[in-house]
Amino acid sequence: MTMDAIQHQTSAGGAEPVAQRGASLWADARRRLARDRWAMLCLGIIAFYVLLALGGAMYEALAAPEGGIPTFEETINFDQSYRPPSLDSLRNLLGTDWAGRSVLLKTVLGAKVSLTVGLMSNLIAVPLGLMLGAAAGYFGRRTDAVIVWLYSTMASVPGIVLLIAMKYAFKNVTFLGLNLGGIHGLYIALGVTAWVGTCRYVRAEVMKVRELEYVLAARAVGRGNVMILLRHVLPNVLHLGIISFSLGVVGAITAEVTLSYLGLGVEVGMPSWGTMIDGARMELHAGRWWELASAVGAMFLLVLALNIFGDRLRDALDPRLKNV
Amino acid sequence: MMGMNTQPGDALLEIRDLRTHFFTDDGVVKAVDGVSFSVPRGKTFALVGESGCGKSVTAFSILRLLPMPPARIVSGSIHLDGRDLLGLSPGQMRQVRGGQVGMIFQEPMSSLNPVFTCGSQIAEAVMLHARTSAREARRRAIDLLAKVGIPEPAQRFGEYPHQLSGGMRQRVMIAMALSCSPRLLIADEPTTALDVTTQAQILDLLGDLQERENLGILLITHDLAVVAQTAHVVGVMYASKIVELTSAADLFSRALHPYTQGIFRSLPRLGVRGRRLETLGGSVPNPLNFPTGCKFHPRCATARMVARTMNESDTVVVTTETGPVRVPARCASQEPPLRQEQPGHSVACWHARAADQADAPPAEEEQQ
């Protein structure tokens, strides 16, 4: 190998700018996402909701019964029932409910519930789907058969029926000091039913990645199966997990609303968008639209933002759409 | 004969009667069926053959990189430095992979993990076998990059595979394979995916490294030009077996197997004009249904020629893709063993001598 040849190689290999170090897949995706106005707008909306939810959580933490800041239950004031939205005060900005409580506060607290449910259930579902999908795709054979059987069974039962069944099963069950009859049970029920989609995507992708030569190369330098799976296969399918997560939050939020509407979601009395819609449905014919509108509007905007963001994220992480 | 070690234990890699079969739903595919050869220390052994002849399966069997099942090494022995690789546990085998034996692959585009930097992948290989700190591994990875002729190695360390050209990636792969100073390097079509200029550079690099590190190389290729450039000893594979085994110089000056001769006749020669290039009639036999006897007999020109000089009772008519042909009965019924025909030159053919003479006339014609 002569120096000339090396020099030649450099200029050939360095066709792309060499100075910028390490534009990884993630850095690329981040850059593409940052250029995408819609994605950024949606990210802003999501961030706004996160702040609202944090505010709601802070309020709940600070409020103490009898003294200081009144808790949400203590704001009951029947003299103020069914006030329509007005600009008079922040409290009445979105009107009041049957017990005279602020619909604005209720909506903010609902955002907290929705986002927590979305986060927690996906923290269960996505890792579960990733692990099962990766194991099925990588090891194949019997492992694959068992996992495919498991998710086919899950997928063949209507999700809502499964959720209802699980919520009933969890009634009055306490596990590790958590009351599974309430919101914790909801996380778990949503988590263990929502992994199927992630699992299928990941399995298919892992089957593809498994056959690539860098996996073979890793084996040829003496890597074992587990490390190959963790270091060479999983990082290459992780984007599927992230996309699943952002789109899965949408599913979890709508599922929470549906279940709470059916009276199977959060504990009685806990403000959530589902219970708001449930409570407001009888009042609509009396012309009291604001509680329903607030809950639906808040949910609509968040779900829309999450959906668009998830979509844009998928595009940004898809190497085939690179540089378009 | 240079490098042609026949006594076991002397060579770096010694393969005896290796049989790797695939047990599929359609039947048993005998992908490698009784292959024996040895790779001398510090020399290059080239295994040549067309697609599907079993050369890659042979290479993969050495490191046990085949999916098992369906694949199974049915019998045979593989000795590396006198140690039987087939007797090793999976854990011991992992020590051999990347430790004593490095391997590089055909497709440098997909042989590197796209989500990690090249350097970190080499460092990973270093840390896997030599227990070193991350800092030391990084230093060694940069040294390796320099050794395989990558300019500005410290800077290239932090680059991702997509930022490098195909030739560069193959260099990174070589650096990775050499990370633990192996005695043997298995190169599975290392230059097939590269353009000719880059191919020559990579082959030069392998030659340099071989000299410096006394590296034994098992080169898998279908490219006779690559063989001519790099190999010391050559095994020609056809339908799961080695049909001709000799030194590279010998093979190019006087091929004895009709298959090898047929291939050479199909190559254009510099300075020879106005002669049609010949083709090998027929196609590679289906490994699920190999012909009986010599697997090459339905396509063999020598067999047909020899049959014409024989009594009709000593010949049989066989149906081939190109129609019925008359061949010697022995070719169609008995598989020829690989036997020494000339010093250091083994051939698996019943009529190697006839084939030798048959190959000569065209050269004489040209002289006239």
For residue B16, give the CATH number of its domain: 3.40.50.300
Exposed/middle/buried for residue B241 (C-beta within 10 Å: 0-12, 13-18, 19+)? buried
Domain end call among B123, B146, B181: B181
Of residues A266 and A197, more confidence is placed in: A197
Last residue of a domain, one of B202, B218, B253: B253
Q: Are residues B83 and B22 in the same domain?
A: yes
* B86 & B228 share domain: yes
Contacts of A7 in chain B (CB under 8 A): 151
| Beta strand extents in chain B (DSSP E only) | 13-24, 27-39, 44-48, 71-80, 83-84, 101-104, 184-188, 216-221, 233-238, 241-247, 315-320, 323-328, 339-342, 345-347
pLDDT in the model for residue A10: 41
Please indicate whether, in this complex, the C-beta atoms of B125 and A21 are within 8 angstroms of each other.
no
Per residue in A87-137, pLDDT tens? 777 777 777 777 778 888 888 888 888 888 888 889 999 999 999 999 999
Domain span including residue B289: 256-269+279-339+350-367
In a domain, B299, yes or no: yes
**Do B162 and B125 belong together in one domain?**
yes
Here the tokens at position A319 are: 């190497």
Predicted local distance difference test score (pLDDT) of residue B190: 85
In chain A, which residues touch B (CB < 8 A)?
1, 5-7, 9-10, 12-13, 15-16, 18, 21-25, 212-214, 216-224, 231-232, 235-236
Please indicate, yes or no, if residue B274 is contained in any of the structural domains. no
pLDDT score recorded for residue B366: 40
pLDDT tens profile A253-282:
888 888 888 877 777 777 888 888 887 777
Q: Is there a single domain that holds both residue B290 and residue B176?
A: no
**Cβ proximity of B179 and B141 under 8 Å:** yes
Q: How many domains does the structure of chain B reveal?
A: 3
Vertex B354, ends B352 and B360: CA angle to 5°? 105
Q: How far does A9 lie from chain B, in Å, by closest CA? A: 8
- Give the distance from residue B139's alpha carbon to the nearest chain A alpha carbon, in angstroms: 18
pLDDT under 70: residue ranges of chain B: 1-10, 355, 357-368
Q: Which H or E run includes B15?
A: strand B13-24
Residue B116 lies in a domain: yes
Same domain flag for B202 and B54: yes
Indicate the burial class of B91 (C-beta count within 10 angstroms; 0-12, 13-18, 19 or more): exposed
In a domain, B2, yes or no: no
**Per-residue confidence (pLDDT) for residue A25, from 0 to 100:** 67
Which of these three, B121, B150, B181, is where a domain ends? Answer: B181
The answer as to whether B302 is a domain residue is yes
Cis peptide before B69 (omega within 30 of 0): yes
pTM: 0.71
Same domain, B204 and B148: no
Joined together, the tokens standing for residue A80 give 């103020």
Please name the residues between 1 and 60 in chain B that touch chain A, using a CB distance below 8 Å.
none
Kindly list the structural domains of chain A, giving each domain's residue range(s) and its CATH number in brackets, ordered by start: 24-64+71-321 (1.10.3720.10)
- The answer as to whether B1 is a domain residue is no
Q: Are residues B223 and B265 in the same domain?
A: no
pLDDT value at A198 more than 70 = yes
User: B322: which 2 tokens?
Assistant: 């190109």
Q: Do both B123 and B85 map to the same domain?
A: no
From the list A16, A15, A21, A31, the residue with the least C-alpha distance to A322 is: A31
> Considering only CB atoms, which chain A residues are within 8 Å of B123?
none
- Asked if residue B309 belongs to a domain, the reply is yes
CB contact under 8 A, A12 and B155: no
Which of A6, A12, A213 is the closest to B110 by Cβ? A213
User: Would you say residue B3 lies in a domain?
Assistant: no
Interface predicted TM-score of the whole assembly (ipTM), two decimals: 0.71
Amino acid B302 reads T
pLDDT in tens, A2-34: 444 444 444 444 333 333 455 666 777 788 888
Query: Between the ranges A71-80, A181-190, B211-220, B256-265, where is the mean pLDDT highest?
Result: B211-220
Chain B residues with CB-CB distance to A1 below 8 A: 149, 201, 204-205, 208
Q: Are residues B212 and B92 in the same domain?
A: yes
